[in-house]
A = this chain, B = another copy of it.
């Protein structure tokens, strides 16, 4: 891998020189040897003008392989510049799922011009694909697939693979009934090992399921993972074969979904990125921070209510944040486990109660363990046994409450049909902050009244 990285840097320096010297033929030569993903990486690392120029040097077929591998930013810049005619030629060569993704990103009139410019059959296919929601089985499927009638032989199926091979990667041959109803799928390995004149239908792998178009892509990814699939047929409600989803797209879905989870917990937009233009990032993050500001004002209210108590024992002010911070972190730990468990399908409403009870025990024990330690520290440090007792008690309460809230916030969001990760960290810490101050200052006020 070190070697690969070094090679990339070497290529990049080389390219820079050739661009300066206008040695286009050398560039075309280099590109002809490289994998589309590597060309995309090289282009991603260039300035905007150079990107467009280098992309224009690619042959149509190579260009169609490079586009899906480009970063979002590069693709946007290149698509803005390209002519409708050239783009239509490139789209014609692309897999339908990637083509639909590109068209979905275009401004409406450019999209219409491109759809009019490509082959009518492909245009019809694409328009159908564009109707499905982006995050569903329909939204990620492609219409290119190999299918044979149910009365075919293995030999027919093998021939169908040979015929299709210029156009697509084949993982399975699908067997359909007379009206295009899905009967089953035959893996390539099974085609190779079956007798050539035996019925194709006997070679069907019964463990390959199918999905309907409206199934969420996260659910689809889980099926690939559970059943070790390479490709999955997509059908309509009448079980008619519409398309297929392939493992390479699922790998992308998995990455997208897990980024989304991490991002949403922290109140980040799923398209945010460290290399985004600052103004774009700011627009995406600031709303969450303002929400956070609003929730933080709850803490101001709570503390303001107890100003008298703080005035009497000023040491209280110093220890307040400890109760809030620990409650927040304990809650965050549970929160993340629940969000991840929901995303992986391990946590469901049926077994949520079991998880809830276990987390409650964790909350109580962790609360005790932290409460006793901070109580002793505060006593030894400030020499006030009462401060130690109050602080310890408040800590026990708030760590327990944090764990409770960390369980309930994502489950409630899920129950409300919202994304369980969505800004959940902000809600949890807002609650543990406010409740931490309330329990600590409340206890302090009560003890003060008792002592005075």
Contacts and interface: CB of A to CB of B under 8 A. Distances in A.
Interface of A: 1, 4, 35, 37, 69, 158, 161-162, 165, 169-170, 188-189, 191-193, 207, 209, 211, 215, 219, 224-228, 230, 247-248, 250-252, 254-255, 258-259, 261-263, 265-268, 272-279, 281-282, 285-286, 288-290, 292-293, 296-297, 299-301, 303-304, 307, 310-311, 314-315, 317-322, 324-326, 329-330, 332-334, 336-341, 344, 346-347, 351, 354-355, 358-359, 361-362, 365-366, 369-370, 373-374, 377, 399, 407, 425-426, 429, 433, 437
Given A1-B219, A225-B252, A289-B333, 7 more contacts: A162-B192, A191-B192, A259-B344, A266-B329, A274-B358, A293-B373, A297-B377
Q: How many copies does the complex hold?
A: 2
A192 B358 CA distance: 54
A362 B281 contact: yes
Contacts of A267: 329, 333
B285 A366 contact: yes
Contacts of A324: 321
A365 B289 CA distance: 12
12 contacts: A188-B188, A188-B192, A192-B192, A251-B254, A258-B261, A274-B358, A289-B326, A292-B326, A303-B317, A303-B320, A325-B429, A329-B426
A266 B332 contact: yes
A297 B311 contact: no
